Amino acid sequence: MMNNQNPLQGVLSALCAPPRVDGRGPVIAVTAAHGGVGSSYVARNLSILAAQHYGPFGQRVALVDLDLTQQAQSAFFHDPMQQATYGALRGPYDATFGQTPFWQVSPDGVDVDGERKSTARYGALYLVGDTGLTVTKFNWDEIKDGQNVHLVASRDYWHAMRDQFAVIIVDTPSFERADTALTVIPEADKTVIVCDTARASDPAQKALSDRIAENEGRCAGLVINEGAVPASNNGRLA
C-alpha cells in the first residue's frame, strides 16, 4: 500500500490500480492540452515516487521522454545539483530491448566501417543512482545532416518495457505543440491529462479526453497541478 503523504502519491496509487492481470508493469502516459502546465514535472515526480515504492523490492521504474527535441527529463537528472540528490547516472544502456522502439531514423545511418548503425545507437537508458529509476535519452549526436527522426507506434516495444519495469511513465509533449502522444496512448494502460487550476474547466480538457478515447486510449482523468510550476508538487486526480 502506498502512503498518501504527497498528493501525487494518491494519483500514482489510483493510476496503478488495479494491477494488470498478467502481472506486467503498467504503461502510464502523461499528456496535456496546453504547454506550460507542468506535465513533465508531474510525470517526473510520479516516476520518482514510484521508484521510491518499488525500488526497495528490487524493481525498477522507467521514465520515458517522448519529447525528443527538448529532452527535459534526461537534462534534469544530468544536472549536477540533481545528481547530488538522486545520485550519479550510470549508462548508457540499450533502450530497445530487442524491439523496434518508439523512434525511427531515416535514412539509415552507417558507422565508420560502412555498416548500418543499430537502432540502439540512437536511444539509451540511464540508471539514476540507486533510486531504482531509469530515464531515457535520445542521442542527437548520432544524427547526421539529411536524417530525419520520427515517433512511431510500437506495440511490441511497450510490451517489452512492461516485462522489464514495475511502472513505465511516459512524458509526452502537449497537444498544443504536437499530437505525437498518439503513438503511445493506444498502447498505454491509462492516460492522464495535466492542467493547471485556471484551465480545469476549459473545454479543451474534455476535447482531449474525447480524442484519447477516439484513438483507443483510456483516459484516467485530469491531474490538476495546483500552484506555481515547478515550485509545487501538489496534484489531484479529478
Q: Which of 29-33, 122-126, 205-209, 232-236 is predicted with the least confidence, judged by mean pLDDT? A: 232-236
pTM of the model: 0.92
* Inter-CA distances, 192 with 28, 59, 189, 196, 226, Å: 8, 23, 10, 13, 15
| Whether residue 232 has pLDDT greater than 60 | no
The residues, any chain, with a CB within 8 Å of residue 162's CB and separated by 6 or more, are 20, 24, 25, 26, 27, 168
**Per-residue pLDDT tens for 156-205?**
999 999 999 999 999 999 999 999 999 999 999 999 999 998 888 999 99
Selected residue with higher pLDDT from 37 and 4: 37
The ranges assigned to domains in the chain are 23-237
- pLDDT of amino acid 82: 96
DSSP β-ladder status, 123-128 and 89-94: antiparallel
Percent of the chain scoring above 90 in pLDDT: 80
| CA nearest to 171, candidates 137, 221, 214 | 137
- Report the alpha-carbon distance of residue 221 to residue 162 in Å, rounded: 22
Q: Which H helix or E strand runs over 188?
A: none
- pLDDT of amino acid 233: 42
Contact 193, 209 (CB under 8 A): yes
CATH architecture of the domain 23-237 equals: 3-Layer(aba) Sandwich (3.40)
Selected residue with higher pLDDT from 94 and 231: 94
Confidence of residue 228 (pLDDT cuts 50, 70, 90): very low
| Whether residue 237 has pLDDT greater than 60 | no
| Whether residue 58 has pLDDT greater than 60 | yes
Confidence of residue 214 (pLDDT cuts 50, 70, 90): very high
Selected residue with higher pLDDT from 119 and 32: 32
**Per-residue pLDDT tens for 9-54?**
999 999 999 999 999 999 999 999 999 999 999 999 999 999 999 9
Longest dimension (CA), the chain: 57
Record the cell numbers describing residue 232, joined without a space: 509545487
